[in-house]
Amino acid sequence: MNWDALGAIAELVGAIAVLLTLIYLAVQIRQNNKLAEVQLMQAESSFEHFLLEYSIFLQTNQEIGETLAAMLVLISYRGERPITHGDYMSARYGLMPLKVGIQNCYQRYKQGLISESVYLSDTLIYLEEFGGYMLLLDLPMTEEFRKELCNRVGNNLEKQLHSGSLDQKGMDRWQEVFSGRKLQSFHGAWST
């Protein structure tokens, strides 16, 4: 055999090895994509299960519901039921798991790890319903999530203002909450 024939055989073997490697990588990528899809569905299912469990918790915990209602009355100038420190702590720690779950979902959504449909259908409902309380209670959160929360709650409040279920004084008071100025006077509303 001459060197030219050996070189041609070596090139053929090398080309076959490269082709087999590419086929193997394509199969691996396809399997990884399927695994990623399954993990995405599990993450979405887990989050939806959390929201269901949290809804049951809220429905069975009358104290948190009463506190949130009293906070809404306080902020909207429609009479005042004194908010005790115990009420405040109950609402704060009662809403903390929801805030953590929603903030986590928001971060996953921004990273493409939660589908837009799950974010829009599940998360926004809770943001619009409880986001104002999360701001009012000054729950710890990332600045990016706080901006999203202010935006979503603000849009919801605009709808309430136009429908007449919120007056301008109430809207102004919520605006104070968004800017952080309201928190001190809210905390001062605790009965002693």
Write the single-letter amino acid at 155: N
pLDDT in tens, 45-90: 787 788 788 878 877 877 777 777 766 665 554 445 556 677 777 7
pLDDT mean over 168-186? 58
Q: Indicate the DSSP class of residue 79.
A: -
- Asked if residue 116 has pLDDT above 60, the reply is yes
Rounded Cα distance, 67 and 98, in Å:
16
More confident residue, 192 or 27: 27
Alpha helices in the chain (DSSP H): 3-60, 62-75, 85-110, 116-118, 124-136, 143-163, 168-179, 182-187
Give CA–CA dist 56/98, Å, rounded: 12
What per-residue confidence (pLDDT) applies to 166? Answer: 64
CA contacts within 13 A on the Cβ side of 45: 6
